[in-house]
């Protein structure tokens, strides 16, 4: 059976991040009419249990909920699936066993881009407590021989508070100031590269770039990979605003 849609988005983790990915896929696709955009369907399953709560504190597993959503996308018919939640990639091996549809791995795509563009500079992964403790990026960083810097416990706790604040209230000046305070204390010369490895933090991309930070956004890597794999053209004017070498 021919798939009805090129891309299936398994979202809801969180809802704002899901909408943000939809916007980026649309913005980064080159087209001058509706029909030139990518046929995409979004399943925003907000009932999926918290990933960090499960990884770090033994809370309810999100895997059955993720698998149910994957099955629903399979039944609808999609050529590839994207999951705009970095921490959910902790379960990737289990998820791949439960679908025949390709899942684009945003962690792997982000790490491949880091390898291509960064040489001796240190990389800082900004993400949830579950992402860090689950070593979601670590294996890929080691395989690609990328030098990363681990946040101190206090700084990681602050990043986690910021993520939860965005989930609850969206972006605010207080959130922006909190992120800048963490980064300035860590890297006052703005010499390191920062991966926005939580899709809530991805909502801060433009603000952080304007403030002079070296930002690579995993959400962008996912959107760009989905477009390219769907065999659609990138809107290079929009993409090159952030990434010259794509």
Q: What is the pLDDT at residue 118?
A: 86
User: Environment class of residue 241 by beta-carbon count within 10 Å: exposed (0-12), middle (13-18) or buried (19+)?
Assistant: exposed
Q: Please, are residues 191 and 123 in contact by the beta-carbon 8 Å criterion?
A: no
The DSSP code for 234 is B
pLDDT of residue 1: 59
Question: What is the per-residue pLDDT for 26?
Answer: 98
Query: Which pLDDT tens digit goes with each residue over 161-180?
Result: 999 999 999 999 999 999 99
Which residues is 193 bridged to in the sheet?
A: 123, 214
> What average pLDDT does the structure give for the chain?
95
pLDDT tens profile 16-48: 999 999 999 999 999 999 999 999 999 999 999
The structure tokens listed for 19 are 């909408």
**In contact, 204 and 134? CB cutoff 8 Å:** no
Angle formed by the axes of helices 173-186 and 153-169, nearest 10°: 160
Q: Which residue among the candidates 9, 163, 198, 204 is catalytic per the annotation? A: 198
Burial, 132: exposed, middle or buried (Cβ in 10 Å; 0-12, 13-18, 19+)?
buried
Residue 10 buriedness (CB in 10 A; 0-12 / 13-18 / 19+): buried
Q: Of 85, 126, 218, 224, which is the active-site residue? A: 85
Is 56 marked active-site? no
The residues with which 215 forms a beta bridge, in sequence order, are: 194
């Amino acid at each position: 059976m021919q798939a009805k849609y090129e891309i299936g988005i398994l979202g809801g983790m969180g809802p704002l991040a899901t909408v943000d990915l939809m916007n980026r896929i649309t913005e980064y696709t080159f087209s001058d009419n509706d029909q030139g955009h990518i046929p995409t369907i979004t399943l925003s399953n907000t009932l999926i249990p918290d990933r960090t709560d499960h990884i770090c504190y033994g809370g309810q597993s999100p895997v059955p909920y993720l698998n149910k959503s994957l099955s629903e996308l399979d039944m609808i018919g999609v050529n590839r699936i994207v999951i705009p939640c970095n921490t959910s990639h902790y379960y990737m091996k289990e998820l791949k066993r439960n679908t025949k549809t390709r899942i684009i791995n945003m962690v792997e795509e982000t790490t491949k881009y880091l390898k291509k563009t960064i040489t001796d500079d240190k990389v800082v992964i900004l993400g949830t407590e579950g992402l860090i403790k689950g070593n979601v990026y670590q294996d890929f960083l080691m395989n690609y021989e990328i030098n990363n810097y681990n946040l101190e416990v206090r700084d990681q706790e602050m990043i986690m508070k910021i993520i939860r604040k965005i989930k609850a209230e969206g972006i605010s000046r207080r959130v922006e100031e909190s992120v800048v305070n963490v980064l300035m204390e860590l890297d006052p010369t703005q010499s390191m590269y920062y991966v926005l490895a939580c899709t809530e933090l991805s909502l801060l991309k433009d603000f952080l770039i304007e403030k002079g930070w070296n930002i690579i956004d995993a959400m962008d890597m996912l959107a760009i990979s989905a477009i390219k794999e769907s065999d659609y053209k990138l809107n290079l004017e929009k993409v090159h605003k952030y990434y010259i070498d794509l």
